[in-house]
Amino acid sequence: MRRRVLPGFGLSLGFAVTYLGLIVLLPLAALAWKASDVGLAGILKLLASPRTLAALKLSFGGALLAAGLNVVVGLMVTWALVRYRFPGRRILDALIDLPFALPTAVAGIALTAIYAPNGWFGRWLVPLGIQVAYTPLGVLLAMVFVGFPFVVRTLQPVLQSLEREVEDAAETLGATGLQTFLRVVLPTLVPTLLTGFALALARAVGEYGSVIFIAGNIPLRSEIAPLLIVQRLDEFDYATAAALGVVMLTFSLVLLVLVSALQRWTRRWAEQSA
Amino acid sequence: MTAGRPGRPASAMRRLGRASIIVASILFLCLFLVVPLASVFVEAFRQGAHAFVESIDQPEAMAAIRLTLLVAVITVPLNVVFGLAAAWAMTRFQFRGKALLGALIDLPLSVSPVVSGLLYVLMFGAQGWFGPWLATHGVKIIFAVPGLVLATIFITLPFVARELIPLMQAQGSEEEEVARVLGASGLQTFFRVTLPNIRWALLYGVLLCNARAMGEFGAVSVVSGHIRGLTTTMPLEVEMRYNEYNYVGAFAIASLLALLALLTLALKSALEWRYQAAENHR
Amino acid sequence: MTLALKRLSRHFPDIAALDDVSLDIAPGEFVALVGPSGSGKTTLLRILAGLDYPDEGSVTQNGQDFLAASARERNVGLVFQHYALFGHLTVRENVAFGLRVRPRRRRPSRDQIRVRVDELLKRVQLAELGNRYPSQLSGGQRQRVALARALAVEPDVLLLDEPFGALDAQVRTALRRWLRELHEELGLTTVFVTHDQEEALELADRIVVMNKGRIEQVGRPHEVYKDPETPFVCEFIGRTNRIALERRANTWGAGSWSLPAGASGGLFHSAVGYVRPEHLSLSVPEGQPAWEARLRHVYLAGSIAHLDIYVADIDQTLEVDVASEDLGRGALTPGAVLRVAPTRLVTFPLGDGPAGAPVLGERWIMRGPNSTS
């Protein structure tokens, strides 16, 4: 008796699931299969190696820090773009997506050229004792670069649709501009900022192209986790590469689940207090 | 520099705050986005226009450009069909496992490009799942064009679907239902009602998908094998030249990719403008 | 062409949208489905349109299974609350849509379509606006386009889902009259969903009052208004005063007022009575049972006036309607003290259980001594 009114349910779902199965699920199964060659013990041993540990710490620590910086700077830039009118605003707005549109390898060599000791900025920074290229700072810079659009683009529509009346009401109640921002505006933005944080984080953790050029890839110092995988693959050590892949994937997913839990919690909190 | 709303007298403090936010934002965006972009073109022309042209007018550069276009031409249509199918299923029907499907669509966004490439090496590489079988049948996927395409499809899989799903969710299915009641067939409903309603979002998705497909580096770098003239896309060619200290050559190719990025941004802004006009039109 | 709906049920995971609903719709009839949100009226309409299917039950048209036909074969016209116009098509293209998507052998020629669209646009008074886009029209105009689009396919049944719900009050009133005239002209079987009981009373030949997936009452508007069969209908259709009644020696009463002796009552101890605002007499002679009430407010609403009176005896404020021209005659100014009694009540006995639910199927209509009707 039950029929669907709009056609194409079987066809569209069937195609989508098959496609996802072939492109995403099957390869993931292959990853799990190959990683099992090394086994849990092997993975733990891998994690115990100082070089792996240092690379993971740089990838995840750097990405967390970069996402955090992006939230702060992104909030400021989005605020300026949404709330103020100034010359060049539309062009800057369009440029926000540059890190997304610019191929990562291009971003990588461009950043390196600028911050290398003889580069545009490098030649001024290095004498001051600030080494960016070929240090963890360079890795961080590249990670901030690739994650930047995510915070702004997530925040922008929400900030645009925020009711200005609420801020006006706060001010008629005697709140200063800063108080209004901290007590009225910011709490409502927290869940959105967390979404942007998560997206920027996910992008930065696995980032490869824009990082490897500026990182210098010095073991134990500026070597990122994805590079370890590439090195294992170059040595045709598929099992270890797969194990590293599983570790990275697991860490990223755990982090994202944590962020989304935090997000749900803050959203509920925001709704309850509203 | 004026406030967003007229007729509101601003205190000196407020004006100072506003000015500093605007100046800091402009400064940051210039140093952080404009300077790197500009540096690409400056470096490419460092030794003059002649050197620039010479470093592009080479067989391996042309092969890289052709390969990049080929990968995009295969990848984008496939992901468009997938995006349409996934969005149609997810927004027009209720079924069990919908949330899981949504999560799977987003998954490639949280997988490192290097790991994405690795997945296909593990499937089709020499020691991979299907490796031995492929070897005996003489089919080459890894270190060949099919591998590049597969890795690129994986990386760009979410882009079209993610643009369509929220839009189609918000639009609801009333217009399609009316079309059905008026006697339209399934295909008529799709082409005459659904497609016109989502055309801008679809184009937007295509644009993002294409930009990433042409610019992808990490994933294709793993599966490519870096065989000059055969399996190097433009981003890979940039890397190889850079590692050979051929900076002008690297930046020359990079400047072409940067132009593509600028074109993408311009089209994207135009689409957003058009899209907003269409929204106001509803 | 009678549509016979038999024992329809439709369950959603958390709610029974339709629960054993049966209804016959005669050819050419204008039926309003009225009820609060969640009462199942829209589900019923969607089933008729072919956009949903019942879990149980049948719909037949002259004995033919109506549900066997898909939405596109059913030949119904459908109008949604938010119009669902195709935003990328002009008004003309919207109206022509149903004709243009027909298979080639049944499709009218270009010229025929143009003539038909012209005729429909004239009928909905939009002849000048054919080349506009929906976004360039007002809400009322959009809804008329939606109606013309539905009529273009010459449907057997016209289905309207809260068609005036998104319009402002003035436009709504004008469109109601217009729709009624259109219906009289075309004689098209029409099923109309609304949560606005006034709209249903004004427009329909017959109204179907729905609540929680069930039909509470079916009848002509004045019947339903005058003889509501359930407490829900009393409260949902028209305005009313709810008064708790207690059993007295051989009659019923509340406070210092009671019905004439001998009123029916059976075995029940308590009941609830519903009194329409126009069924309260404000000048009961001394010697007859009545409440003493104080007039609190007078709200003049054109030809009639709404009064709020407070009855201390039962601690309740009652609504009374009088003709505006009677205001001066009875010295009806705030503060006046009146002798008040119901002239007509619809009464439902309450069971003895703790919840005091009305007893199903028991209902009396009681008249006071000074009743006129």
At residue B3, the pLDDT reads: 43
What single string gives the DSSP state of each residue in A222-238? S--HHHHHHHHHHTT-H
Q: Is the pLDDT of residue C373 over 60?
A: no
Residues of C with CB under 8 A from a CB of A: 50-55, 67, 70-71
Instruction: Give the strands of the sheet with C344-350, arranged side by side.
Output: C257-258, C251-254, C241-248, C270-275, C344-350, C364-367
At residue C5, the pLDDT reads: 95
| Domain containing residue A165 | 40-273
At residue A267, the pLDDT reads: 78
A227 assigned to some structural domain:
yes
Beta bridge partners of C24: C4
Contact between B220 and B98 under an 8 Å Cβ cutoff? The reply is: no
B74 assigned to some structural domain:
yes
The predicted-structure confidence for A18-60, as pLDDT tens digits, reads as follows 999 999 999 999 999 999 988 899 899 988 999 999 999 999 9
The predicted-structure confidence for C189-206, as pLDDT tens digits, reads as follows 999 999 999 999 999 999
Q: Chain C interface, mutation test: which of B178, B187, B189, B191, most C Cβ atoms within 10 Å? A: B178
Beta strand C76-79 with C157-161 is: parallel
At residue A176, the pLDDT reads: 79
Question: Which of C15, C47, C23 has its CA nearest to residue C206?
Answer: C23
Q: Is the pLDDT of residue B214 over 80?
A: yes
CA C4 to chain centre: 21
At residue C263, the pLDDT reads: 63
Region B7-11: what's the mean pLDDT? Answer: 59
At residue B10, the pLDDT reads: 63
Contact between B77 and B156 under an 8 Å Cβ cutoff? The reply is: no
Question: What is the average pLDDT score of chain C?
Answer: 90
pLDDT band per the 50, 70, 90 thresholds, residue C326? confident
Biggest CA–CA distance in chain B, Å, is 79
Number of domains in chain B: 2
Q: Is the pLDDT of residue B1 over 50?
A: no
Q: A130: domain CATH number?
A: 1.10.3720.10
| Non-local CB neighbours of A134 within 8 Å, separated by 6+ positions | A214, A215, A216, A218, A222
C338 torsion bin: left (phi>0), alpha (psi -120 to 50), beta (else): beta
A234 assigned to some structural domain:
yes
Name which of A130-139, C153-162, C163-172 the model is least confident about: C163-172
CB contact under 8 A, B182 and C72: yes
Neighbours of chain B (3+ CB pairs under 8 A): A, C
Of residues A11, A31, A73, nearest to B28 (C-beta): A73
Q: Is the pTM of this model over 0.95?
A: no
Q: Chain A interface, mutation test: which of C6, C70, C101, most A Cβ atoms within 10 Å? A: C70
Question: Which of B106, B113, B107, B143 has its CA nearest to residue B125?
Answer: B143
Contacts of B177 in chain C (CB under 8 A): 49, 51, 71, 78, 84
Are B39 and B52 members of one domain? no
Tokens at C244, concatenated: 């708790």
B1 assigned to some structural domain:
no
pLDDT band per the 50, 70, 90 thresholds, residue C73? confident
At residue C170, the pLDDT reads: 87
Number of domains in chain A: 1
Query: Residue C277 — φ and ψ, nearest 5°?
Result: -60, -30
DSSP 8-class letter at B32? I
Give the DSSP H or E segment for C207.
strand C206-211
Query: pLDDT above 90 covers what percent of chain A?
Result: 67
Q: Is the pLDDT of residue B35 over 60?
A: yes
At residue C266, the pLDDT reads: 67
Name which of C96-110, C128-142, C164-178, C356-370 the model is least confident about: C356-370
Q: Is the pLDDT of residue A72 over 50?
A: yes
At residue C1, the pLDDT reads: 66
- Rounded distance, CA A115 to CA A130, Å? 10
The answer to whether residue A1 neighbours chain C at the CB level (below 8 Å) is yes
Query: CA geometry: angle at B35 spanning A159 and A225, to 5°?
Result: 80
Comparing C166 with B153, the larger pLDDT belongs to B153
Question: What is the average pLDDT score of chain A?
Answer: 90
A216 assigned to some structural domain:
yes
Of residues C51, C55, C67, nearest to A5 (C-beta): C51
Q: Which residues of chain C are in CATH 2.40.50.100 domains?
A: 240-367
Beta bridge partners of C280: C342
Handedness of CA C200, C202, C207, C209 (dihedral sign): positive
Q: Is the pLDDT of residue B257 over 50?
A: yes
Question: Which of C189, C75, C95 has its CA nearest to residue C141?
Answer: C95
The answer to whether residue A164 neighbours chain C at the CB level (below 8 Å) is no
Give the DSSP H or E segment for C11.
strand C3-12
Q: Candidates 2.40.50.140, 1.20.1250.20, 3.40.50.10740, 2.40.50.100; correct CATH number of C240-367?
A: 2.40.50.100
Q: B207: domain CATH number?
A: 1.10.3720.10
At residue A269, the pLDDT reads: 73
Comparing C20 with A273, the larger pLDDT belongs to C20
Region B181-191: what's the mean pLDDT? Answer: 93
Q: Is the pLDDT of residue C270 over 90?
A: no
At residue B120, the pLDDT reads: 95
| Non-local CB neighbours of B127 within 8 Å, separated by 6+ positions | A236, A238
Contact between B110 and A203 under an 8 Å Cβ cutoff? The reply is: no
At residue B258, the pLDDT reads: 96
CB contacts < 8 A (A, B): 283
At residue C191, the pLDDT reads: 96
- Rounded distance, CA B200 to CA B243, Å? 41
Rounded to the nearest 10 degrees, the angle between the axes of helix B145-171 and helix B59-92 is 30
B187 assigned to some structural domain:
yes
At residue C16, the pLDDT reads: 86
Comparing A27 with A179, the larger pLDDT belongs to A27
Name which of A122-126, C102-106, C358-362 the model is least confident about: C358-362
Q: Chain B interface, mutation test: which of C14, C52, C70, C86, most B Cβ atoms within 10 Å? A: C86
Q: Give start and end residues of each alpha helix (H) in B93-229.
A: 98-106, 113-124, 131-136, 145-171, 174-181, 186-189, 195-215, 218-224
Q: Which residues of chain C are in CATH 3.40.50.300 domains?
A: 3-231
pLDDT band per the 50, 70, 90 thresholds, residue A1? very low
Interface of A with C in 5-64 (CB under 8 A): 5
Of residues B81, B82, B114, nearest to A230 (C-beta): B114
Tokens at A8, concatenated: 């194409």
Contact between A13 and B104 under an 8 Å Cβ cutoff? The reply is: no
Region A86-114: what's the mean pLDDT? Answer: 94
At residue B235, the pLDDT reads: 96
- Rounded distance, CA C334 to CA A262, Å? 60
What single string gives the DSSP state of each residue in C67-129? TTS-GGGS-EEEE-TT----TTS-HHHHHHHHHHTS-GGGPPPHHHHHHHHHHHHHHTT-GGG
Beta strand C189-194 with C157-161 is: parallel
At residue B11, the pLDDT reads: 74
ipTM of the complex as predicted:
0.91
Query: Residue C58 — φ and ψ, nearest 5°?
Result: -140, 155
Query: Residue B20 — φ and ψ, nearest 5°?
Result: -70, -35
A22 assigned to some structural domain:
no
At residue B201, the pLDDT reads: 92
**Å between A274 CA and nearest CA of chain B:** 25
Comparing A177 with C187, the larger pLDDT belongs to C187
Q: Chain C interface, mutation test: which of A3, A4, A6, A9, most C Cβ atoms within 10 Å? A: A3
Query: pLDDT above 90 covers what percent of chain B?
Result: 83
| Domain containing residue B248 | 48-281
DSSP 8-class letter at C135? G
A189 assigned to some structural domain:
yes
Per-residue CA distances from C108 to B180, C113, C153 (Å): 18, 6, 11
Of residues A88, A206, A209, nearest to B111 (C-beta): A206
**Å between C92 CA and nearest CA of chain A:** 25
Please provide the CATH number assigned to the domain covering C3-231.
3.40.50.300
Contact between A206 and B112 under an 8 Å Cβ cutoff? The reply is: yes
Contacts of A5 in chain C (CB under 8 A): 50-52, 70-71
At residue B6, the pLDDT reads: 47
Contacts of A3 in chain C (CB under 8 A): 53, 70
| Non-local CB neighbours of B128 within 8 Å, separated by 6+ positions | A30, A34, A238, B121, B122, B142
Beta bridge partners of C241: C275
- Rounded distance, CA C82 to CA C163, Å? 8
At residue A3, the pLDDT reads: 65
B2 assigned to some structural domain:
no
Tokens at C280, concatenated: 């309260």
pLDDT band per the 50, 70, 90 thresholds, residue C290? very high
Are B276 and B141 members of one domain? yes
CB contact under 8 A, C67 and A1: yes
Of residues A26, A84, A120, nearest to B123 (C-beta): A26
At residue B279, the pLDDT reads: 64
At residue B280, the pLDDT reads: 62
pLDDT band per the 50, 70, 90 thresholds, residue B4? very low
| Closest chain B residue to the Cα of A93, Cα to Cα | B269
The predicted-structure confidence for C83-109, as pLDDT tens digits, reads as follows 999 999 999 999 999 999 999 999 999
Question: What is the average pLDDT score of chain B?
Answer: 91
CB contact under 8 A, A241 and B118: yes
pLDDT band per the 50, 70, 90 thresholds, residue C268? confident
Give the DSSP H or E segment for C258.
strand C257-258
The predicted-structure confidence for C219-255, as pLDDT tens digits, reads as follows 999 999 999 999 999 999 999 999 999 888 778 889 8
Type of residue numbered A192:
T
Query: pLDDT above 90 covers what percent of chain C?
Result: 65
Region A222-233: what's the mean pLDDT? Answer: 94
At residue C262, the pLDDT reads: 65
Region C315-334: what's the mean pLDDT? Answer: 87
Neighbours of chain A (3+ CB pairs under 8 A): B, C
Give the DSSP H or E segment for C272.
strand C270-275
